[in-house]
Structure 1
Amino acid sequence: MNNLDALIREEHQTEKAREAALYLAGECADVRLVDAVHACWKGMKADGEALSRGMLFAAIACGSGANEELIKEVFDAWRTLPEGSPEDDDWPWSDKRFYVANHCLSGGLRRIKSGRTIEPLLRLSNEAEEMQHTIYRCLEQIDHPLAAGYVASHIAKMDVRIEGDEKRHNHLASSRLADFGSGLNHHVRYTKPTMDALEAIWFDTSKDLWE
């Protein structure tokens, strides 16, 4: 950890090397690296650099529950990234909010499967409606009760929005049903604790997902 800490703090390295160190820090998800990650982020801001994939992953994986200042700064930077539009010539790459989280953060959180790293994303979703679908994309493949509950709630909310409109359909719900239990490797298989949590949500009418 000491060697990785020093590597993350190294000021004179290429962007590729820095990202690699941040990716490794994210995979370690060790709070002992949080100060190094924060120092790296401060250096990136001082140099006028935008939030990167590696920094978002490392900040959430190492900083959740350990450094709320870092989490807030990184989330603020994430929210200001351009959302893009399907009409853009380079769509979906013009959607920087999604691009910076795609694969690296979403894949990393799938391997970590920790409530500590999921809870800040749930709080951000409550604070910033414009981030909800991006967060859904980050959490949809994670075998954890918190992530599964968020995914179910997000899909249910879409059903509520389009109810009564025969020209619209809930593509999220239809795709999840089609893929559920699929043998394809990229589809999550929920374990019993996650399935039990979803079942409890389903039968708990005091917290109706459809309201």
Structure 2
Amino acid sequence: MARRERSRLPAPERRRQIIEAATALVAERGFWGLSMQDVADACGLTVPGLLHHVGSKDGLLIAVLEHRDAEDHRAIGDPPPSDLRALCAALVRRNATQPEIVRLFAVLAAESLAPDHPAHDYFAARQQGVLDALTALAKPVSARPEALARQIIATMDGLQLQWLRAPAGTDLVAMWEAAAQMLFAGPTASAGRPARSR
């Protein structure tokens, strides 16, 4: 039965199915609570059949994370908005449509603080990459671009946690827009325009 079902899907479609099933399970249970048997069952596969597509549990986790990043890049646009405030707004709007994925990243980001977590290096590199990208975009609008980039990341992450805790009564996009008014105001930053020289 499992063999017949497996033959119906081309390898890329099967891999996408596996990633989607694993994404939902990790968002619900965290990586340490993830069972390869549960992922296999969700896809109508045996565990060896599952491993044929992803290599290992660690490989599956990295595939889930990389798939999410690729999907976000496609949704936001290629190239993405070059205006810092517009990019942040696009990211928040995107995240507001996918609470399960945001929960997945929140859970894994916390778990991966442990040095032996398989996603530890991935999240460390991703955090630095995001910081570098936002810092570069902040240079035209802030005298302290790295500080602004760090404040944006902290604000976005904090608002998302509040939203995940109480999604029914929380408007993530509205909360971000209110925070952005403060982040992009003042003598060193403006709403997407270079700060005026004195």
Structure ID, larger Rg:
2
What TM-score, normalized by structure 2, do the two folds share? Answer: 0.33
TM-score by length of 1: 0.31
Q: Which structure is higher in helix share?
A: 2
